Amino acid sequence: MDSELSVVLVIRLLFFNFLLLWELGNGVKVNNGTTNIKANGDNTTIGALTDAEARTLRLLFKSLQSKNTTQLLLSYPICSTNMDAEIRCSCDNTKNRSACWVTAINLASKMLDGFVHSSISLFKNLRVLDLSSNFLTGSIPPSLTTLQSLRILDLSRNKLTGPIPDSISDCQYLNIIDLSNNMLTGVIPTSLGKLQHLQRFDLSNNMLTGVIPTSLGKLQHLERLDLTSNALTGSIPASLTTLHNLTILDLESNKLTGSIPDSISYCKNLTTIDLSFNNLTGRIPDSFQNTISKLYVYLSYNNFTEDCTDSKCLGLERVHM
């Protein structure tokens, strides 16, 4: 009996979601060329999505799902103003009727195995794009860089390939970029130094090559930089030591050479620095003794000419050599 009830509930959920998607694709036309979006029952959304954004949503859903993908189920009706909604919208209620536009797409862990369609650039008011923890393939569409309102870009834990678009720096208000755990290749664009609002930057576990751009030293609001497990070469740019808000610097498992910049002590807010599994040489900076306490330092599997003596590592919480 319980199993039969479960089957019935699943069928109902699938049917409900089908009706929502059908409504988006076949909405009622009103005089100003918009598509009606149904309320979710608790008055969080009653509005109209423009035809252009409705078409783009249909195209996006289609591209994100291959023929093998399970039907995409949403917890909220499409275009809800609820903060937990997968497709979140904002609405302007100042006119005779409400006009709405997409501001956030949160489709993490939805078993999606398609690709990111270039038409996503049509969401001009999009602030959050989270497609993490799926099975998406293909490259990051360069057209995505036209999203001038974007604050959070999270495409981590997918199967994306190709380079990081150089024009991503055009999304000048980005606070978070997480492209980790993909198969991205090429170099880190120097233009990323223009992202003056960036706070978290994670490119770990990819196949990136080349040097760490010195331009990253211009990211004065950066708090976390994670470039772990790539194939980066060259030295650690001294410009990184000017990032006074930096708390985590993780450059583990690359092919970095040269010495640790003595000016690392300028990063007064550092709590973790991981430089292990590289080809670093030279001496441990004397400046380590001037850093704050509770600093976790990981320096193992390098080619330093000396160990971190007690005097140099005075005040450090933990040192792994």
- Of the two residues 90 and 23, the one the predictor is more confident about is 90
pLDDT computed for residue 18 by the predictor: 42
Total count of residues recorded for the chain: 321
Angle at 266 between CA 264 and CA 272, to 5 degrees: 55
> In this structure, what DSSP letter does residue 34 have?
E
Average pLDDT score over residue span 4-21: 42
pLDDT tens digits, residue range 196-208? 999 999 999 999 9
pLDDT at 40: 35
- pTM of whole model > 0.75? yes
Judge whether residue 304 has pLDDT over 60.
yes
Kindly list the structural domains of the chain, giving each domain's residue range(s) and its CATH number in brackets, ordered by start.
1-184 (3.80.10.10), 210-321 (3.80.10.10)
**Over the chain, what is the mean pLDDT?**
81
pLDDT of residue 16: 36
Percent of the chain with pLDDT over 90: 51
pLDDT bin (cut points 50, 70, 90) of residue 97 is low
CA angle 302, 307, 312 (to 5 degrees): 120
Residue 23: which of 11, 39, 12 has the closest Cα? 39
Q: What pLDDT was estimated at residue 221?
A: 97
Residue 320: pLDDT band (50, 70, 90) is low
- The predicted model gives 146-152 an average pLDDT of 94
List CB contacts of 260: < 8 A, sequence separation 6 or more.
236, 275, 280, 282, 284, 285
Residue-wise pLDDT tens digits, 257-270: 999 998 887 888 99
CA distance 48 to 93: 10
